[in-house]
Amino acid sequence: MVMLSQLLRFRIVDEHGAQAKLSDLSVALLDADHPPVTCLYFVAAQRQKCSIRWEKVRAVDWGNGVIKVDDLGAADVESDQSMAKAVLLAAGILDAMVLDLQNRRTTRANDLLLEEHEGKLLLRAADTGLGAIARRLTRGRFGPVLESALYDWTYVEFLRGDPRAVRSEEGEHLRITRLPAGEIARLTDGLPYLHAAELITLLPDPKAADTLETMGPARQLQVFEELDEVQALRLLELMAPDIAADLLGRLHPLTMRRYVEHLSRKQAERIIELLRYAEHTVGGIMTNDLVYVCGDLTIAAARDKLRVPLRNPDFVYFVYVVDDEESRGLRGAISIRDLLTAPDEKKLEEIMDPYLITLHPLEAADQGAHRVLDSHLAALPVVDDDKQLLGVVTIDAAVAQVAPRSWTAQVPRIFS
Amino acid sequence: MKNSVQREGLEALDAVDTAALPEAARPIKPGLRINVRGRSVNLRGMRKPPKGILLWFAVLGPGLIATSAGNDAGGIATYSQAGAKFGYQLIWVMVILTVSFGVVQEMCARLGAATGRGLLDLIRERFGIGWALFAVVVILVANGGVTVSEFVGIGAAMELLGVSKYIAVPLGAVFIWYLVIFGSYARVEKFLLLMTLVFFAYPIAAIMAKPDWSAVARGAFIPTLNSDPAYLFLVVGLLGTTITPYIQIFQQSSLVEKGVARRHYGTERIDAYFGAVFSNLMSISMIIATAATLYVVGQREIASAADAARALEPVVGSAARVLFGIGLLGATLLAGAVLPLATAYAVSEAFGMPKGVNLDFRRGRVFFSLFTALIVLGVVLALIPGIPVMKLLVGVQVLNGLLLPIILVFILLLINDKSLTKELKNTRLNNAMGIGTLLLITTAVLVMIGGQLIEWLGQK
């Protein structure tokens, strides 16, 4: 067990007696839960930065702080570009912002704990305590290692703050992907937006899209604009159309147009449809990602037919019954519960709830939202003058619309 | 961004009719956003949109906030002292400072937008723990000093209103501490801001006192040098109170908190310059008002808040004391709350200390103790009996002026780091003006220290 602050005072000595001071170490960050050290860096003559692979290390004398290698002269010369690609412990991770997943907060790596294990030197934990700061300031003379301040690296995510950083490895060791999307979004609130954008680029697309959806609108826009356009487009494709439309509506019109033109036809049409309505109307808060089916089908046929359409939308509690799928004239609604429990041979028309309160897309959003809340239903359908089903206003959109503004003042702001 | 969509992997799919798309980008509507995913409900929101008179505040943006923060007890004391002691002679410093202040503010805003991080964070990440600790000490000394001056200001304001400072200052401290820790601060803040509106009486007073405008113009555009050591002392005080290290940190963090991203950085630039011009016009009007009322009648020393209040007499007559007291109380309570809060927040952030992700930042131990310690320090020092109030206030601003070059060097180094700021890097003009400001301030500080040393040696 060795702390990075101590390790950085080690010397590298070779067979011929040549020596150099260890200046940094690089790790293969996403290779394992505890990333192994890959290279040792030192400054050779003429201020040349050099590296030597960890495999070349023959022995380490921990007590005297000496790392023995075969030949220092055989080290690779590093350029600034190659240094920038490596994940360096001292230059990169030390002092940087890290996400601590166990305590769900951001913190800083005041020191790093490494451990030798089966010939490899592994990055075990980040020390976030004040002791680590004292240790570094007193050059290791004082500064106890507190167990409670050590965060196991398995549960620590390190981000560089550069969304365009090239990562060669796959991010399968990202523990953060196992958290629910909403929680990831909340965690990223404590991060600078460039770090948050980098995290989004590392997440698998579906998770990234979900996370982006749950972010606050300002943060969402900040992060989205830092993404590579190809990835941004992939995420837009996966996002709920109402949230994607809200997001796109805030971009520069030309940028928005370019994105919409490159989306799949289905998603693009949904988004265009939603963007036609002003934000203060029911149309502006509805979603048109919903499930509808013809009324003349039997329950069994409907179940069969809906297997695919029910897969993606966020809102699936109600299936809307229409007279035909082209004109989408609304006739009633049926809950998923009824769809699952009703006898197979019954027709949808027989068990659907024919009475529906509906909203008009040009109605005021506040009024529509209140009607959703008053109805105590999960959503109310939105239909136009021809009774064509356009979308639904879900309970969450309704609450967001009418929630007392005073709640919003609860978020502490210090500087603005 | 342009053309990049034409890259591989982004071929247009089926052509869709985009004619129905809106023509302008929609603004982000402040409010609450709730997402129901399964059973979890996330509340996340933004501050409520301002209405009425507060909308006017919002339009003026960070500029006005910076002004209110700048025109605290120390600011008023220093500007009044400058006006009373040297009449219109020192206005030229403020004219130059307006440019410098704008440049520095804009750089901080840009740094905040480009990196999404606060100043102490960046120092920690770029220069390591040693420099970060050094910067933290500088900030703590500077802000600790200003905090003390705010509590001195609370005492002085309440004495103008007829309450003993030995009662008023501890009460004010408890009030501030309670507000911030148990959190209805956001609501009270607006009330305090309204109280500071009293200071808009200064520009009116400056005109109604019928100053000698030709003397004002001469003072503003012809730099004069004075061998009086107090002159240089006040110049550094003016530097320190106008370009306070604290305001730099505040400016950068406010951009970060507002969520201004680098692609949208633009109007903030104007905001920063506007804020600088606006706040310095206020300061200049304070100097003119004091010069036209006190300097001309030969009262060259301002010993107490009551003396400073006399500058408002041309506008409000005998109510000057009370009104000045109200304005000063609002300004000092405001700054007395924001300063320890922002300092504790920035420091605990730079050290990665627990401050929670969202609402529970108050529970962080380091945050909590720093905040409390700053307030206690402020109260204790402000209550030392027989303390020369005005001298202390100006002295703190001089201390800020001394520490200012250190912070400026950090800002200049960071803003020129291309890996951090990318396309928002300093231009040559920015750098010339930034370095010019740094040289100007450093020279003033060095000359002042030299002068004080000579004086001190002469006395021995």
**A407 and B CB contact within 8 Å:** yes
3-state DSSP call for residue A14?
coil
Place of tokens 């109307």: A281
Residue B434 has a pLDDT of 93
pLDDT average, residue stretch B422-442 = 90
* C-alpha to C-alpha distance for A344 and A87, rounded to whole angstroms: 59
Residue A142 has a pLDDT of 82
Question: Is the CB of A186 less than 8 angstroms away from the CB of B42?
Answer: yes
| pLDDT-derived band at A388, boundaries 50, 70, 90 | very high
Smallest CA–CA distance, residue A74 to chain B, in Å, is 31
The pairing of beta strand A37-43 with beta strand A49-53: antiparallel
| pLDDT-derived band at B24, boundaries 50, 70, 90 | confident
Backbone angles phi and psi of A123, in degrees to 5: -80, 110
Smallest CA–CA distance, residue B295 to chain A, in Å, is 37
Residue B34 has a pLDDT of 38
**B342 and A CB contact within 8 Å:** yes
| B133: its two tokens | 């600790």
Residue A137 has a pLDDT of 86
Residue A286 has a pLDDT of 92
Question: Is the CB of A410 less than 8 angstroms away from the CB of B129?
Answer: no
Question: Is the CB of A193 less than 8 angstroms away from the CB of B116?
Answer: yes
Which fold is adopted by the domain B61-459? Amino acid/polyamine transporter I (1.20.1740)
Place of tokens 């007499």: B313
Q: Which residues in chain B are closer than 8 Å to A214, comparing Cβ atoms?
A: 35, 37, 42
- If one compares B141 and A83, the residue with the highest pLDDT of the two is B141
**A185 and B CB contact within 8 Å:** yes
| pLDDT-derived band at B67, boundaries 50, 70, 90 | low
Q: What Cα–Cα distance (Å) separates residue B90 from each residue in A270, B95, B230, B231, B434?
A: 64, 9, 12, 8, 22
Decide: B199 and B316 in contact? Cβ < 8 Å: no
Q: Which residues in chain B are closer than 8 Å to A128, comparing Cβ atoms?
A: 352
| pLDDT-derived band at B33, boundaries 50, 70, 90 | very low
Q: Where are chain B's structural domains?
A: 61-459
Q: What Cα–Cα distance (Å) separates residue A327 from each residue in A292, A294, B225?
A: 12, 11, 85
B178: pLDDT strictly greater than 70:
yes
Residue A171 has a pLDDT of 55
| CB-CB neighbours of A267 under 10 Å | 20
3-state DSSP call for residue B282?
helix
Residue A367 has a pLDDT of 92
* Residue ranges of E strands in A118-227: 120-127, 150-152, 156-158
* C-alpha to C-alpha distance for A15 and A155, rounded to whole angstroms: 39
pLDDT average, residue stretch B274-292 = 86
Decide: A133 and A110 in contact? Cβ < 8 Å: yes
Low-confidence winner among B20-29, B74-83, B246-255 (lowest mean pLDDT): B20-29
Q: Tens of pLDDT along B104-141?
A: 989 998 999 999 888 998 998 889 888 999 999 999 99
Place of tokens 């600011």: B75
Degrees, nearest 5: CA angle A297-A303-A307? 125
- Please list, residue by residue across B353-382, b when 16 or more beta carbons sit within 10 angstroms of its beta carbon and e when fewer do: bbbbbeeebbebebbbebbbebbebbbebb
| pLDDT-derived band at B94, boundaries 50, 70, 90 | very high
Enclosing H/E stretch for A270: helix A265-275
Residue of chain B whose Cα is closest to the Cα of A401: B32
Decide: B218 and B29 in contact? Cβ < 8 Å: no
Residue A383 has a pLDDT of 94
Which of A271, A232, A241 is CA-nearest to residue B18?
Answer: A271
Pick from A213, A214, A409: which is nearest to B47 by CB? Answer: A409
B window 176-215, beta carbon within 8 A of A: 183, 185-187
Q: Which residues in chain B are closer than 8 Å to A229, comparing Cβ atoms?
A: 1, 4-5, 7, 10
Alpha carbon B142 to its chain's center: 12
Smallest CA–CA distance, residue A319 to chain B, in Å, is 17
* C-alpha to C-alpha distance for A227 and A201, rounded to whole angstroms: 7
- If one compares A370 and B27, the residue with the highest pLDDT of the two is A370
| pLDDT-derived band at B254, boundaries 50, 70, 90 | confident
* C-alpha to C-alpha distance for A193 and A161, rounded to whole angstroms: 8
Residue A237 has a pLDDT of 93
- If one compares B432 and B10, the residue with the highest pLDDT of the two is B432
**A217 and B CB contact within 8 Å:** yes
**A110 and B CB contact within 8 Å:** yes
Q: What Cα–Cα distance (Å) separates residue B418 from each residue in A130, A289, A302, B266, B426?
A: 31, 44, 60, 19, 9
| pLDDT-derived band at B198, boundaries 50, 70, 90 | confident
Which of B334, B328, B338, B332 is CA-nearest to residue B374?
Answer: B338
Residue A382 has a pLDDT of 95
| pLDDT-derived band at B456, boundaries 50, 70, 90 | confident
What one-letter code names the amino acid at B146?
V
Pick from B22, B36, B116: which is nearest to A194 by CB? Answer: B116
Smallest CA–CA distance, residue A168 to chain B, in Å, is 20
Question: Which residues of chain A are in CATH 3.10.580.10 domains?
Answer: 292-402
Q: Which residues in chain B are closer than 8 Å to A103, comparing Cβ atoms?
A: 354
* C-alpha to C-alpha distance for B372 and B370, rounded to whole angstroms: 5
Q: Which residues in chain B are closer than 8 Å to A226, comparing Cβ atoms?
A: 261
* C-alpha to C-alpha distance for A295 and A48, rounded to whole angstroms: 77
Smallest CA–CA distance, residue A54 to chain B, in Å, is 26
pLDDT average, residue stretch B388-404 = 86
**B357 and A CB contact within 8 Å:** yes
**Percent of chain A having pLDDT more than 90?**
27
Enclosing H/E stretch for A286: none
| CB-CB neighbours of A79 under 10 Å | 9
Question: Is the CB of A252 less than 8 angstroms away from the CB of B25?
Answer: yes
Question: Is the CB of A279 less than 8 angstroms away from the CB of B26?
Answer: yes
A292: pLDDT strictly greater than 60:
yes
Residue A358 has a pLDDT of 92
- If one compares B285 and B48, the residue with the highest pLDDT of the two is B285
Whether pTM > 0.80 for this model: the answer is yes
pLDDT average, residue stretch B229-258 = 84
Residue B286 contacts by C-beta under 8 Å, 6 or more apart in sequence? B71, B76, B79, B80, B83, B202, B206, B311
| A204: its two tokens | 């698998």
A window 195-214, beta carbon within 8 A of B: 195, 210, 213-214
Which residues is A43 bridged to in the sheet?
A: A49
Helices B73-86 & B229-242 angle (0-180, nearest 10): 150
| B388: its two tokens | 């020369």
Place of tokens 């310095």: B280
Residue B46 has a pLDDT of 34
| A401: its two tokens | 């619309």
CATH architecture of the domain with range A292-402:
Roll (3.10)
Task: Out of A100-109, A160-169, B61-70, give the one with best mean pLDDT.
Answer: A100-109
B244: pLDDT strictly greater than 70:
yes
Residue A295 has a pLDDT of 87
What one-letter code names the amino acid at A368?
G
| pLDDT-derived band at A166, boundaries 50, 70, 90 | low
Question: Is the CB of B37 less than 8 angstroms away from the CB of A251?
Answer: no
Question: Is the CB of B129 less than 8 angstroms away from the CB of A137?
Answer: yes
| pLDDT-derived band at A334, boundaries 50, 70, 90 | very high
User: What average pLDDT does the structure give for chain B?
Assistant: 79
**A250 and B CB contact within 8 Å:** yes
Decide: B216 and B90 in contact? Cβ < 8 Å: no
pLDDT average, residue stretch B186-190 = 67
**B132 and A CB contact within 8 Å:** yes
| pLDDT-derived band at A99, boundaries 50, 70, 90 | confident
B65: pLDDT strictly greater than 90:
no
